[in-house]
Amino acid sequence: MTHTESVETRPEPLSRAKSPGIDAAKATGLLHVDQTASTAFPFTADDRSAALALTAETLTAAGIKTTDRIVVALNNDGDLGGVLVAEAASEIASAAATVGPRGRMRLLRTLENIRANVLVGTPTGVADFLARLHLEFLVDPLDLELRLILLTGEIADPKKIEHLGREFGAQTVELFSDPISGVPIAHKAPKATALIPTRNNLLALAPSATPVADGHLAEIVVRYPWHSTLADASIRTGYLSTPDADSITAPTHTYGDLILIRGRWVSFTALTRALRGIDGIAHWELRIARQGTLDSATVFVSFNRDSLVANGMWHGRIAQAITAITPISIDVEIDPHVREDSAPPSIHDDRGHHL
C-alpha cells in the first residue's frame, strides 16, 4: 500500500485553517498558535509529555548522543519550536540551550561558552551564521568543533547543505518538523531523499487540495496518534512532495495560502486583508527571493493615482499594516508608475519554492 492510498482509507485530510481540532476559539491547554492566532494546536500536560518524548526519539534517530552539548537557534516567538527541541534534547544529551535565531554574535558566544558540539537551526540561518563567521567575526568554522548540525523549518538546497557540512567539518541531517504542532517527527539522512518517520502512522501523502503547476506532486499530511484529542486527525501541511510507492520524499515545494519565508509561514490571506483597507492600491505583489544566505520578501505596490506614489505617510501605512501581521521583515517597494486598472494581489517566488 502506498502512502497516498493510506490516506484514501481515512476521512478527507483537513486544511490547517479548517481543522476543528485546532480552532483557536475552542482549543484549551497550552496552545501553539499560528501567526494570525486563527489556529491553535492544543497541548494538555500529557500531550506535551508525549510531544517531548516524540521529539527526543526524533533527535536520537537523527544522531544526538548522550554526551552531546546542544544549542538550538530556532524561532521561539509565537511557537514552541526552539523551546520544545531544547527541552527534549536536554533529556537525552548532556546539555541543551535555546538562543533563538536572531543575534549571530550571541549564537557564536553561546556555542563557545557552552562548548557545544551540536547546532540546530534553519538551513538559511546556519548559512548566514557561516557567512558572518568568515566576513565579520573572522572565525574559522572548524574551530567551533561541531560534529553534527540539524537543519529544519525550510526547503533547503542539497548542495548548500553539503557545503555547510564541509565548512563546519560536521555531519548535516535534516529534520522534518510538523508545521502545525512544531514537533519534529522525521529526519532525512545526508544525501538521501526520503524522510524517515520516527514512528509509524505519522506521515502520509494526499492529492493537493487545489491544482498545482506540477501535477506529479502530492501534499504531505500529518497524523497525531500520540495526541489525546487529535488521534484520528489528518491535517494538510502545505508542503508538497514527490509521490513514491515506498517512501515520502523530503518536501520540494509549498502551495496554497501559506508561504514559507525564513522558516516562518506567512498567510497570504491575512496580508490581503491587512492591505485591503488602504485606499489607492491598484495592485500589489509579494516577491520572495534568496539571493544571498537569507530569504528576502518585498511587497511591490502599484497605486491608482499619482498623488500617492511619493506620499510617505501612505507608504508608512502599508509598512505598518504588514508589520502588524507577521514578525518576518517584509520591505515595501512602490511602483513609480500609476496603474489605472485594478488586479488581484499576486505572489512571485524567485526561489521556485511556492507554487
Q: pLDDT, tens digit, for every residue of 102-131?
A: 889 999 999 999 999 999 999 999 999 999
C-alpha cell at 9: 482509507
> Average of pLDDT values for 129-138?
96
Q: pLDDT-derived band of residue 10, with 50, 70 and 90 as boundaries?
A: low
| pLDDT, tens only, 224-248 | 999 999 999 999 999 999 887 788 9
| pLDDT, tens only, 42-74 | 999 999 999 999 999 999 999 999 999 999 999
Tell me which DSSP letter residue 231 carries. T
- Measured in residues, the chain has a length of 355
Whole-number average pLDDT of the chain: 91
Statement: residue 78 has pLDDT above 50: no
| Distance (Å, whole) CA 179 – CA 182 | 5
pLDDT of residue 76: 56
- The set of residues, in sequence order, having a beta carbon less than 8 Å from that of 105 and lying 6+ positions away, is 137
Widest CA span of the chain, in angstroms? Answer: 65
- The set of residues, in sequence order, having a beta carbon less than 8 Å from that of 25 and lying 6+ positions away, is none
Which among 29, 43, 57, 59 has a CA at the least distance from the CA of 227?
43
pLDDT of residue 52: 96
> Average of pLDDT values for 332-346?
96
Please tell me whether residue 114 adopts helix, strand or coil conformation.
helix
> What's the one-letter identity of residue 107?
L
Please tell me whether residue 172 adopts helix, strand or coil conformation.
strand
Q: How far is CA 252 from CA 177, 204, 216, 223, 352, in A?
A: 14, 15, 12, 20, 9
> Average of pLDDT values for 82-91?
94
- The set of residues, in sequence order, having a beta carbon less than 8 Å from that of 244 and lying 6+ positions away, is 2, 3, 194
Tell me how crowded residue 341 is: count the other CB atoms within 10 A of its CB.
8
pTM: 0.92
Q: What angle do CA 32, 35, 40 make, to 5 degrees?
A: 30
C-alpha cell at 214: 506540477
pLDDT of residue 4: 40
pLDDT of residue 323: 93
| pLDDT, tens only, 270-327 | 999 999 989 999 999 999 999 889 999 999 999 999 999 999 999 999 999 999 988 8
Statement: residue 77 has pLDDT above 60: no
> Average of pLDDT values for 178-197?
93
| Distance (Å, whole) CA 132 – CA 149 | 17
| Between 272 and 7, the higher pLDDT residue | 272
